[in-house]
Amino acid sequence: MREVVLTFLSLAAVVLAAIGVDSETGTAQASAKNPILWADVPDLSFLRVGDDYYMSSTTMHMVPGLPIMHSKNLVDWELVSYAHGSLDSGDALSLNNGKNAYGQGSWASSLRFHNGRYYVSTFSGTTNKTYIFSTDDPKKGEWKTQSFTPSLHDSSLWFEDGRVFMIFGAGQIRLVELKKDLSGVDSAGENRVIIENASAAAPGEVGLRAEGSQLFKVGDTYYLFHITWPKGGMRTQLVHRSKSLFGPWEGRVFVQDRGIAQGGIIDTPDGKWYTYLFGDRGAVGRIPYLAPVEWKDGWPVVAGDGKFPESLPIANSGKGVSSLVASDEFDRRSGEPELGRAWQWNHNPVRSLWSLSEKPGFLRLKTDRVDATLEQARNTLTQRTFGPESTAETHLDFGSLKVGDVAGLCLLQRRYGFVGVQRREDGFYAVMVSNGDLSPKILAEQKIEGSKIWLQAKGNFAGQKDRGTFAFHLGDGKWQPFGGELAMRYDLPHFMGYRFGLFLFSTKEPGGTVDFDYYRVR
């Protein structure tokens, strides 16, 4: 009989922690808290239509990709759709022939609303294309896809007077005009440098060149935001302003505070202004912050002391971030989506190798090839980890594994770790594997009987401790710590915060199968 738990309570704990609710008393705090989401939600682009806010973000090699979130108050966000189910085909995006798109895929996006239609653009160095997705309703998730070459780096889409532009680049910022049907760059249109060296607005020697263009118009003035990183300094947010799209532009530092940068500004229906940027916070990833904005001499400035505040003058609805992380019993009624929105595959999945119907109430993973490591394994199903601490648990039936197969629960990044089951010639073994030094090693192993195991992975991100731990039990409910700590580190080759993942890969012969009974986060 399957274990029964109140998964709502475990998920609620995540939500309450995120929105500033005392876990002992249950008393709601008076205002929202920074960070507004303690999870990997980088490269933010915001849009307001009436009293509805939308936010897009980067998930790179994950599929589906380019998540679209909705809010009514700028702090409680619901994941409502993805702009694409698969960015493109090809070996790199599908983990084929030794290739991968770790840290690549699609990067920073730009959200727009024009003539009753929503648009979100992105670009990809993997395919050398720029993509524009559009829909009448982001919540329905029916996005039209258009793409063209070349890939316009960190581009900001802009509609004006019947014309369409993109502003893009790093250091040198350019403007190009697109064809009216958005099918590509208009060779007869505008194509010019509008800021020769955007990084010059920051003090010190240039390190990371100014990039991450996000364009806004307030009144008759354009404001263009960039992130830069002076050598020996911190990530810095810049703003340039101009009365014309084509310049001249004048620039200054918008904010320097704990490396929080990249994003822009948003107004509320009652005329308040905020800025939304992200901060690098170790292994959990790049997490969003929000701050009130004032206007001084025609410039936006972070209100108060110019720092991101601990609390915000925004009341919480209580929804929190419950759609960004979600428990799943893998039970599906007729007509329900197969997978909830919180799930993303590591690279393009192979549809024939996973199922929620072959064994109802279970996620079944299968293999059709041999892979050496977890990073090469296809069909790893992932969700974000979450700060300050998060725990994932699963129960799996491993009786159909083949010799050499490995299945389990991982903390996925370049320096990954996992707890799981390996089938060997002489039987099944519980194993804990660490790739903390970029060479996978078994830190613990124990021969086990039967065909069922319960697995647990924890991530401690409080104060950037960035430590992962693992445990298992064989049905008695008593978690047995297993293996050593995983020293988690945010590595650029993946360019993403750690993720929990359910996985299976074969090292000797294909055709193995594993069944996951549930996934529970708390």
pLDDT tens column, 399-441: 999 999 999 999 999 999 999 999 999 999 999 999 999 999 9
- 16 close to 25: Cβ distance less than 8 angstroms: no
Nearest CA-CA partner of 72 in 139, 8, 27: 139
Rg (CA), the chain: 23
- Predicted pLDDT of residue 26: 39
Mean pLDDT of 25-36: 67
Taking 60 as the threshold, does the pLDDT of residue 137 lie above it?
yes
- 228 close to 178: Cβ distance less than 8 angstroms: no
- Predicted pLDDT of residue 322: 63
Tell me the three state secondary structure of residue 519: strand
Mean pLDDT of 20-40: 65
Q: Read off the pLDDT of residues 434-478 as tens digits, 9 standing for 90 and up.
A: 999 999 999 999 999 999 999 999 999 999 999 999 999 999 999
The residue extents of the domains of the chain are: 31-312, 344-521
- Predicted pLDDT of residue 16: 39
Mean pLDDT of 229-250: 96
Q: Nearest 5°: phi and psi at 2?
A: -70, 145
Q: In which order are the strands placed within the sheet that holds 273-280?
A: 261-267, 273-280, 286-296, 299-302
Residue reference for tokens 């599906």: 332
| Pairwise pLDDT comparison (21 vs 417), residue with the higher score | 417
Tokens representing residue 364 in the block: 């079944």
Burial of 377-399, coded b for 16+ CB within 10 Å and e otherwise, reads bbbbbbbbbbbebbbbbbbbbbe
Give CA angle at 251 (247, 255), nearest 5°. 145
Mean pLDDT of 105-126: 97
Taking 70 as the threshold, does the pLDDT of residue 379 lie above it?
yes
Please identify, in words, the CATH class of the domain defined by 31-312.
mainly beta
Q: What pLDDT band is residue 45 in, cutting at 50, 70 and 90?
A: very high
Q: What pLDDT band is residue 183 in, cutting at 50, 70 and 90?
A: very high
- Which amino acid does the sequence have at 496? M
Taking 90 as the threshold, does the pLDDT of residue 181 lie above it?
yes
How many CB atoms neighbour CB 195 within 10 A?
26
Nearest CA-CA partner of 277 in 212, 339, 337: 212
- Which amino acid does the sequence have at 107? W
Taking 80 as the threshold, does the pLDDT of residue 28 lie above it?
no
Mean pLDDT of 115-135: 98
Beta-carbon contacts of residue 313 (< 8 Å; ≥ 6 apart) = 31, 292
Q: What pLDDT band is residue 4 in, cutting at 50, 70 and 90?
A: very low
- Predicted pLDDT of residue 141: 79
Mean pLDDT of 354-361: 96
Q: What pLDDT band is residue 323 in, cutting at 50, 70 and 90?
A: confident
Taking 70 as the threshold, does the pLDDT of residue 508 lie above it?
yes
Tokens representing residue 487 in the block: 């020293």
- Predicted pLDDT of residue 245: 97
Q: Where are the alpha helices (DSSP H) in 295-427?
A: none
Beta-carbon contacts of residue 433 (< 8 Å; ≥ 6 apart) = 374, 417, 418, 420, 440, 441, 442, 443, 483
CA distance 498 to 158: 33
CA distance 95 to 114: 37
Q: Enumerate long-range contacts of 333-338, CB under 8 Å, 24 or more apart.
A: none
DSSP calls for 126-162: TTTEEEEEEES-TTTT--EEEEESS--TT-EEEEETT
Taking 50 as the threshold, does the pLDDT of residue 397 lie above it?
yes
Taking 90 as the threshold, does the pLDDT of residue 24 lie above it?
no
Nearest CA-CA partner of 283 in 386, 182, 358: 386
- Predicted pLDDT of residue 157: 98
Burial of 220 (C-beta count, 10 Å sphere; 0-12/13-18/19+): exposed
Q: What is the CATH number of domain 344-521?
A: 2.60.120.200
- 302 close to 292: Cβ distance less than 8 angstroms: yes
Say how many Å lie between the first and final Cα of the chain, rounded: 23
Mean pLDDT of 25-53: 85
Taking 70 as the threshold, does the pLDDT of residue 318 lie above it?
no
Taking 70 as the threshold, does the pLDDT of residue 160 lie above it?
yes
CA distance 492 to 102: 9
- Predicted pLDDT of residue 320: 55
Kindly report the average pLDDT of the chain as a whole number.
Answer: 93
- Predicted pLDDT of residue 497: 98
> Percentage of the chain with pLDDT > 90?
90
| Pairwise pLDDT comparison (208 vs 114), residue with the higher score | 114
- CA distances (Å), origin 521, targets 216, 323, 326, 327: 38, 12, 7, 5
Taking 50 as the threshold, does the pLDDT of residue 353 lie above it?
yes
- Predicted pLDDT of residue 22: 39
Tokens representing residue 153 in the block: 């780096």
